[in-house]
Amino acid sequence: MARPKRERRILALTGTAAIVALALNLILSAINAQKNKKKRSRDLPGSDVRINLSAVEILRLADQIIAKSKDVHDAVASVPLNKVSYANVVSPLAELEAQQFPLVQSCVFPKMVSVSDDVRKASDEAERRIDAHVSACRNREDVYRVIKAFASKGEWMNLEANRYIQFLVRDFEQNGLNLTPGKRKEVQRLRAQIDDLSMQYIQNLSGDSSSLFLNEMELAGLPPKFMKSLWKAENGKLKISLRSNHVSPILEYCKVGTTRKKVAVAYGRRCGETNLPILENLVQLRHTLAQLLGYSNYADYAVEHRMPKTSAKVFQFLESISISLTDLASKELAALRDLKKKEEGEASFEVEDVIYYMKRAEEQMFDVDFGTVKQYFPLNLVLSGIFKISQDLFGLRFEEVVDAEVWDSEVQLFSALDYRSSELLGYFYLDMYAREGKYGHTCVVGLQNGSLTPKGSRQMPVAALICQFQREADGSPVLLRFSEVVNLFHEFGHVVHMICNRASFARFSGLRVDPDFVEMPSQLLESLCYKNSILKLISGFYQDITKPVPNEICSSLIRRRDSFLH
């Protein structure tokens, strides 16, 4: 299908102002296109991310990464223990990490987005080689001794540098470098097995192309546009991909309980025969590893450096939540069961029914038709609203890099600039539409982390936002379910977080912050979806975008968030 002409900049306005802005935008776009027509992503200032590498180039780059890393680790290991300093121990490792992260991502990211089987296989192999090398580096006793010697000096640098040094020591000691030689060897063996099995598990799911074929009656309740987007076999049955862009709408809209169950079970059983033994083995190996490192179980090992510190505190928290919510949960489930009984008779209420009947309950409670709601959220208008909000809240201006080198014709690249000074702050790729071979979930991937270079300049953050939206077969605007709107806001929060991060070390930049915090910016941004003014800003009836979502729908959506179902 030919790609429709894209707007070069996206502004967020509704009403008459939107029409004026659109006309002005087209003029500015034409000027901007002329100014930037020779600008390519391979020449992006501050970015070392490499796009569209061939299978051979990916494997060659992986080997170069490993060779460079080995040289730096050898140099650090050669420092005499009585001459260790920040400059000859810590700085080389921090610089290596910052320089190599975008190159590593250039090797491993293609497996998520490339349409080429050869490229995806090479990307998998590159990740395997690099992971094996990283594991070997963290088992180097000679490097550990040097780092430990510097850490023991207790020289005060600054808070971030001292934290980085603590992390370096922790990386080695979590691999058993502080244990006896016998235990250390066993830790290394267990870690190698865990890494191999974990990669197998992920590769199995990523490469899964399972599908179901269902007739139109079995898909009753699905929107007509969704039905038209499905591939039809010669026998008239429709192909359902076991990916989130097909599974989520079915669980949300399909009126046929047996279909919801069939799809949910098939989705849950993907790669079951191959992955279940892997999972069982991983559980046992992780438990053995944790005990060898001095923990009572793997849960204690996993949360030691997070807020709870121990698994006991996690269970205490979950138990207190359970006690306070049990009665309310029982009432909610009883209400949903009653709805199913009225609609489907005496069929038992199962987990795959929750999303569908939550929607039915919401429609009744708030008098809202989610099919109608969807008509007010065209994808491009929602994106334009997100850009405007980012400008108002964070002082960011996004401009498309025209004629950018990308991995698919529908991918866009945007530069992020300071709104007032026009200083370049970073970049993000936007890969919106589902396609064969693409990673099956919406997410943000860090391609290059912002950090300070040895000369004091900033390395540009580069992010990729991967979505699973389905293009309409007839070329009409892509309309988002409200849950998709919220999810898009959430993921864009990660993009903003990456671009605005000002960490000095790549280790603490972008999405590599402490896991207790990493979701906070996104949760804050998604909460804006329940503000009346924001709903007006990001909405417009798909046949006339000057008409934002009506007040009564806004009120219903806002009340919905605070209902007993949320």
491 carries an active-site annotation: yes
* Residue 206: closest CA among 127, 276, 101, 120: 120
Q: How many CB atoms lie within 10 A of CB 12?
A: 20
Q: Quick one: angle between helices 244-253 and 257-268, nearest 10?
A: 150
Let me know the angle formed at the C-alpha of 336 by 333 and 340, rounded to the nearest 5 degrees: 135
Q: How many CB atoms lie within 10 A of CB 251?
A: 22
Q: Alpha-carbon distance 171 to 510, whole Å?
A: 19
Do the Cβ atoms of 174 and 188 come closer than 8 Å?
no
Do the Cβ atoms of 450 and 97 come closer than 8 Å?
no
Of the candidates 218, 352, 484, 491, the residue annotated as catalytic is 491
49 three-state secondary structure: coil
Q: Alpha-carbon distance 443 to 282, whole Å?
A: 25
**Would you list the DSSP string of 121-181?**
HHHHHHHHHHHHHHHHHTT-HHHHHHHHHHHHHT----HHHHHHHHHHHHHHHTTTTTS-H
Spell out the residues 6+ positions from residue 186 whose beta carbon is closer than 8 angstroms to its own. 176, 292
**Distance between terminal CA atoms of the chain?**
40
Catalogue the active-site residues: 491
